[in-house]
Amino acid sequence: MRRDEKATLVERRALSPDASLLCFRSSFLASALRPGQFTMVRLPEAEGLLLRRPYSFCDAEPDREQFSLLVKEVGRGTRALARLPEGAEVDCLGPLGSTFTMPAPEHRPVIVAGGVGIAPFLAFSRALRAAERDATVLLGGRTAHDLYLREEFEALGMDVRCATEDGSFGEKGRVSVLIDDALAGPVQLYSCGPTPMLVKVAELARERGVAHQVSLERRMGCGMGCCLGCVVYTSEYVRCCSEGPVFDADSIQWDRDRHPL
Ligand SMILES: Cc1cc2nc3c(=O)[nH]c(=O)nc-3n(C[C@H](O)[C@H](O)[C@H](O)COP(=O)(O)OP(=O)(O)OC[C@H]3O[C@@H](n4cnc5c(N)ncnc54)[C@H](O)[C@@H]3O)c2cc1C
Ligand code: FES
């Protein structure tokens, strides 16, 4: 059940020169959200920002009535959100979209994430930990700065492995250099990040016969299935905001559906 909720910014933490973790108070959203879902955020005071912007729920603490968003500044909307003063209120429509599903007991979860695609996996890792499941978390970025929340995944006891394109942390190269080793044995793969990374991960998973859930990003106008601005090609057109953002990666026709952004 989604609602349009007021959420108050209670804390901001810089994660890198252009990314922040924003912690909001909303008792409803903190309890209702499920890993993989997202919210459409409107900044009532931001002039000229007509459309809401989509953000994955990053983490939730229902006991404290709080949830967090990881925000990377790429344009006007993300910049305005990242720079909100503490105490400000935003309108959050949510929780929206589909969720990651738990791996079968015999499958080891392997998470592959890059950039802001790391965001939805903190809540998911927390759910895995609550179910006493261990996961391998492969994080990729251009530099060490982009390996957001690495320490939080480690604190949850996840097996975290990193790759950076400039070699400043972990293996040198894209996160795909880490995948081969991680796919040994029965595995359930989860991914979110830049489309070239997702295409590569989907290819490797398909070659190895590994089940793979992928979270996709599209430009979104409404977030509720009305505007058809976010379609993804499977065997037919589906809406990323309402049938997704989490899909079975094998259902995506990657060659017909390169990222439109
Ligand atoms: C389901 C979903 C979950 C997301 N989760 C997060 C998250 O957790 N943290 C986060 O920082 N961002 C997330 N995004 C991306 C975020 O919504 C966009 O970066 C944001 O809408 C850009 O708004 P803007 O006004 O800052 O940029 P604009 O001024 O609109 O555009 C600036 C640049 O951002 C690109 N852009 C615009 N919309 C998107 C989009 N939807 N996805 C990717 N690039 C875009 C544009 O092509 C342009 O290059 C998510 C997107 C979706 C669809
Ligand atoms: S964003 Fe409007 S239909 Fe998906």
Q: Which long-range contacts link 129-135 to residues 24+ away (Cβ below 8 Å)?
A: 129/156, 129/157, 129/158, 131/102, 133/102, 133/103, 133/109, 134/108, 134/109, 134/158, 134/159, 135/108, 135/109, 135/110, 135/111, 135/159
For residue 122, the ligand closest to its alpha carbon is: 1
What is the pLDDT at residue 185?
87
* Cα–ligand 1 centroid distance for 116 (angstroms): 9
Q: Look up residue 147 and give its amino acid.
A: L
- The domains located in the chain, with CATH, are 3-96 (2.40.30.10), 100-214 (3.40.50.80), 216-261 (2.10.240.10)
* Cα–ligand 2 centroid distance for 186 (angstroms): 35
Residue nearest to atom 28 of ligand 1 (CA): 75
What is the pLDDT at residue 235?
85
Tokens describing residue 104: 């079968």
Residue nearest to atom 14 of ligand 1 (CA): 55
The reply to whether ligand 1 has any atom less than 6 angstroms from the CB of 38 is yes
What is the pLDDT at residue 180?
86
The reply to whether ligand 1 has any atom less than 6 angstroms from the CB of 261 is yes
User: From CA 8, how far away is CA 25, in angstroms rounded?
Assistant: 5
What is the pLDDT at residue 82?
96
The reply to whether ligand 1 has any atom less than 6 angstroms from the CB of 124 is no
What is the pLDDT at residue 24?
98
The reply to whether ligand 2 has any atom less than 6 angstroms from the CB of 229 is yes
pLDDT tens, N- to C-terminus, the chain (261 residues): 899 999 999 999 999 999 999 999 999 999 999 999 999 999 987 777 889 999 999 999 999 999 999 999 999 999 999 999 999 999 999 999 999 999 999 999 999 999 999 999 999 999 999 999 999 999 999 999 999 999 999 999 999 999 999 999 999 998 888 998 899 889 999 999 999 999 999 999 999 999 999 999 999 999 999 999 999 999 889 999 999 999 999 999 988 765 554
